[in-house]
Amino acid sequence: GQQLNQSPQSMFIQEGEDVSMNCTSSSIFNTWLWYKQDPGEGPVLLIALYKAGELTSNGRLTAQFGITRKDSFLNISASIPSDVGIYFCAGQVGEGAQKLVFGQGTRLTINP
Amino acid sequence: SQTIHQWPATLVQPVGSPLSLECTVEGTSNPNLYWYRQAAGRGLQLLFYSVGIGQISSEVPQNLSASRPQDRQFILSSKKLLLSDSGFYLCAWSTGGSRQPQHFGDGTRLSIL
């Protein structure tokens, strides 16, 4: 089946640093989504990408849909303590029911 | 605005007991509904999805079943729980169409003893 390779698995950074994570796949997706999950809660949507080459920002977050439609990256600028959590990429297949394939997550830890 | 509710938040069940987890969505009609399971420290795996009342599609063979008795209600069930059913279960909804992302509930932590 389809799989997403998300890296890095974990990051330990200083407050104020920029962060970059990415997802790659051997399959093509028509949508890429980035979610953040806090402990004991459901994932919260950060950015949705619908078109190859699309670059979208949400505050300090920027994400891009790769030209090949097989990859995506998420950047966080000037990290702050509330950025701590697990970040997931997800690729969507299908049109009627949007089935998502998730990456394994990137756990972000920030040292103040 | 739309909201999604899952309950219970936490559940501890003995092996072999039945299970019923409930998910409801408010503020929208005819949503697509989804059940996911998340193992500790891992990504989410799609278990079931539904595009309408009584319509259930299963993504992976397992000991669980799903039902959609009402438009905005999605239930995850088991007749006999296994140890391997432990995990974090998440319900999600989306509207129809290709550019409608999924939105998740806060999940149910299920522990099997």
Burial A9-32 (b: 16+ CB within 10 A, else e): eebeeeeeeebebbbbbeeebbbb
What tens digit of pLDDT does each residue of B36-77 get? Answer: 999 877 889 999 999 999 999 998 878 999 999 999 999 999
Q: Give the residue among B100, B94, B104 at the shortest CA–CA distance from A38.
A: B104
Angle at A81 between CA A75 and CA A87, to 5 degrees: 45
What is the amino acid identity at position B95?
T
pLDDT-derived band of residue A99, with 50, 70 and 90 as boundaries?
confident
Proportion of chain A above pLDDT 90, given as a percent: 82
CB-CB neighbors (< 8 A) of B109 in chain A: 40
Single-letter amino acid code for the residue at B41: G
Q: Tell me what the pLDDT averaged over chain A comes to.
A: 92
B110: chain A residues, CB-CB within 8 Å: none
What is the H or E stretch that residue A75 is in? strand A71-76
Mean of the per-residue pLDDT values of chain B: 93
The mean pLDDT of A23-48, rounded to a whole number, is: 94
A8 has a pLDDT exceeding 90: yes
Chain A: residue whose CA lies nearest to B49: A97
Structure tokens at B15: 């092996």
Cβ–Cβ gap B44/A43 under 8 Å: yes
Closest CA to A24 of A59, A74, A62: A74
Largest CA distance in chain B: 41
**CB B2, CB B102: distance < 8 Å:** no
Taking the CA of residue B64 as centre, how many other CA atoms within 13 Å lie in the half-sphere pointing to its CB?
A: 27
The span from the CA of B72 to the CA of A64, in Å, is 33
Q: Which of residues 54-73 of B touch A (CB under 8 A)?
A: 57, 59
What is the share, in percent, of chain A residues with pLDDT greater than 70? 95
* Phi and psi torsions of A83, nearest 5°: -80, -10
pLDDT tops 90 at residue A9: yes
pLDDT band for position B110 (50/70/90)? very high
Pick the residue from chain B with its C-alpha nearest to A86: B41
pLDDT greater than 90 at residue B11:
yes
Listed in sequence order, the residues at least 6 apart from A42 whose beta carbon sits closer than 8 Å to its beta carbon are: B6, B90, B92, B104, B105, B106, B107
Residues of B in contact with A35 (CB under 8 A): 104
Q: Are B38 and B106 in contact (CB under 8 A)?
A: no
Q: Name the residue with higher pLDDT: A89 or A99.
A: A89
Distance CA B46, CA B39 (A): 12
Average pLDDT over residues A71-95: 92
Pairing state between β A106-111 and A10-14: parallel
Q: Say whether pLDDT at A92 is over 90.
A: no
Model confidence at A95, in pLDDT bands (50, 70, 90)? Answer: low
Q: What count of other Cβ atoms lies within 10 Å of the Cβ of residue B99?
A: 14
| pLDDT bracket for residue A2 (50, 70, 90) | low
Q: Do A97 and B102 touch (CB under 8 A)?
A: no
Task: Find the CB nearest B99 among A42, A50, A105.
Answer: A50
Mean pLDDT throughout B22-38?
95
User: Of B88, B8, B5, which Cα lies nearest the Cα of A86?
Assistant: B88
